[in-house]
Amino acid sequence: MRQIWILAQNTIKALIRKKDFYVFFIMLLVLLVSLLSENFFGARNVSRYIKDIGFFCLWLFSFIIAVTFASKQLPEEIDSKTILPLLAKPVTRTHFILGRFLGTVLASSSAYTIFYFLYIVVTSIKGEGIAFSLVIQAYIMGICFLSLVSAISILLTLYLTLSAGITVSFVIYFAIIWFADKLRAIVISRTGIESVLLNIVYYVIPHYEFYDLRVRLAHSWEAFPLWVLSGVIVYTILYTSVVLYISCSKLKKKFL
C-alpha cells in the first residue's frame, strides 16, 4: 500500500510540474468568462446555455486530462526506462499499475474539482442556480467517470502505442456517448443469436453515458434517487477493478 501511495504522489507531482493542467484551466476560465459576458442575441434563459456549454467544456477538459495523462504513464516510463530502477526496488508491477492509476484519478479529479467549482461560481453569477443535491451528484458522477476513463486508458496503452491508445480512448468515448442509446434500441428489437451477441456487446462496453448529467444540469431537473447513484458507483468500482486486473496481468507478462 505504501508503494501505491508513493507512486500516486509522484504522478500528481508530474501533473503539477508538467503544466498541462494550467493550459486547460486558463482555456476554461476564458471560455466561461466570455460566456458570462454574452447574451446570445438577447436570448431568454441564457443561463441554460451557459450551464450546458460550460459543463460540456469542463467535462471534456477533465476527460482530456485523464486520457492523456493516464495514457502517458506506461509508455513514457517504459520508453525512458525510468521503470527499470523503480521495479528493481520493492515495487511489484501491480503496485506500479495501481499507483499510477490512483495518481491519475487524483490528479484528474483535482483538475475536475477546480473546473467544477469555477463552473458553479460562473453559473451562480449568471442567474439560475442548480439544486445542491444535483451539484453533488454531478460531482460524484464526474469522479466515477474519470476513474473508469483512467483505468481504460492505462489498459489500452498496454496493447497499443501511446497515440493509438489516446485515439481509441477518444473514439470509444464519443461512440458510446452517441450510440449507446441506439444500441440499446437495436438490442431490444433483435431476437435469437443476434440478440445474444448484441446484448454481450451492450453489457461489455463501458457506459460513459451513465455519468453525463449535462442535460439534467442545464434544465435544472431534480436529482435522481440515491439508489441510482449507488448503482452507478458499484458499476464503476466493478468495471474499474476488472480493467485494472487485466492491466496488472498484462504488465506482469511484459518484458521490460
Q: Is 23 in the site for other proteins (CB under 8 A)?
A: no
Helix (H, G, I), strand (E, B) or coil at 89: coil
Binding-site size for other proteins (CB under 8 A) equals 26
Site map 216..255 versus other proteins, x via CB under 8 A? ------------------------------------xxxx
User: What is the nearest approach in angstroms of other proteins to the Cβ of residue 70?
Assistant: 17
- C-beta of 6 vs 135, nearer to other proteins: 6
Site map 80..119 versus other proteins, x via CB under 8 A? xxx-xxxxxxxxx---------------------------
CA distances to 35, 113, 137 from 47, in Å:
9, 21, 20
In Å, how far from its chain's centre is CA 239? Answer: 13
- C-beta of 1 vs 193, nearer to other proteins: 1
Rounded CA-CA distance 190/198 in Å is 8
Closest by CA to 74, choosing from 146, 149, 8, 155, is: 155
Contact 25/19 with Cβ under 8 angstroms? no
Contact 150/110 with Cβ under 8 angstroms? no
Q: Is 6 in the site for other proteins (CB under 8 A)?
A: yes
222 phi and psi angles, rounded to 5 deg? -75, 160
Residue position matching grid coordinates 435544472: 220
| Piece of the chain touching other proteins by CB under 8 A; list 12-20, 50-58, 138-146, 189-197 | 12-20
Judged by the rule CB under 8 A, the positions of this chain that interact with other proteins are: 2-3, 6, 9-10, 13-14, 17-18, 80-82, 84-92, 252-256
